[in-house]
Amino acid sequence: PVGWVIGPNRIHYWWLPDWKRQFPQAEIWLAPRIREQAGAHIDFDCRELGAQDLYPWDDDLITLPVHGSFMTEMVFFHKSSRTLILTDLIENFEAGKLGSGLKRWLTRLAGIQHPDGQMPRDMRLTFRKQKTELKAAVETMIGWEPERIIIAHGRWFRQGGAAELGRAFRWLLD
């Protein structure tokens, strides 16, 4: 059974009511600022991520809030499989799957095209005042030595996760 459904950042919450209907027994957890943004769209009980230090999944997952000026993204690390779970901190679209030349051009311009997927350039701007905190979060993730990185947008990384983090955030770490 599904125990929890998570809205990991304020860009990814729209379908939570559908997930709640599909899994009514699941607790819904929201990243900071989703509740205020969603308004009446989320009309059921939810718990806020970051409002506490302990979570019911702590035996299996490490939870790390990554704070920016626009949003906080909640990052998860599955300890036993050494799998890092990201939503928007890295995007890695495969050009051949995008269809139009315009989409290929835009993803390349944004710095989110495989094999060099990174944090989207527009998202980097929302972290410019929190660059020190972002760097510390990335260094923490690298320190976990993830083997895999699952991402919401594009091709995920099946091996060498720590090295991929270093590559994707070289603009921040160098």
Mean pLDDT per 10-residue interval, the chain, length 174 residues = 97 97 98 96 95 90 96 98 99 96 96 97 95 98 99 98 99 96
76 and 16 both lie in a single domain: no
pLDDT, position 81? 99
What pLDDT, on the 0 to 100 scale, is given for residue 130? 97
Task: Note whether 78 and 118 are same-domain residues.
Answer: yes
Q: Are residues 51 and 75 in the same domain?
A: no
Task: Say if 33 falls within a structural domain.
Answer: yes
In this prediction, residue 53 carries a pLDDT of: 80
Q: Are residues 132 and 150 in the same domain?
A: yes
Q: Strands 47-48, 4-7: parallel, antiparallel or unpaired by DSSP?
A: unpaired
Domain count, the chain: 2
| pTM (two decimals) | 0.95
Judgement on whether residues 50 and 110 belong to the same structural domain of the protein: no
Amino acid at 11: I
What was the pLDDT predicted at 152? 98
In one-letter notation, the amino acid at residue 139 is E
What range does the domain containing 14 cover?
1-56
Claim to verify: residue 132 and residue 50 sit in the same structural domain: no
Q: Is 61 part of a structural domain of the chain?
A: no
Q: How do 148-150 and 83-85 pair as beta strands? A: parallel
Q: How far apart are CA 69 and CA 111, in angstroms?
A: 20
Q: According to the model, what pLDDT value does residue 52 have?
A: 77
Residue 109 shares a structural domain with residue 171: yes
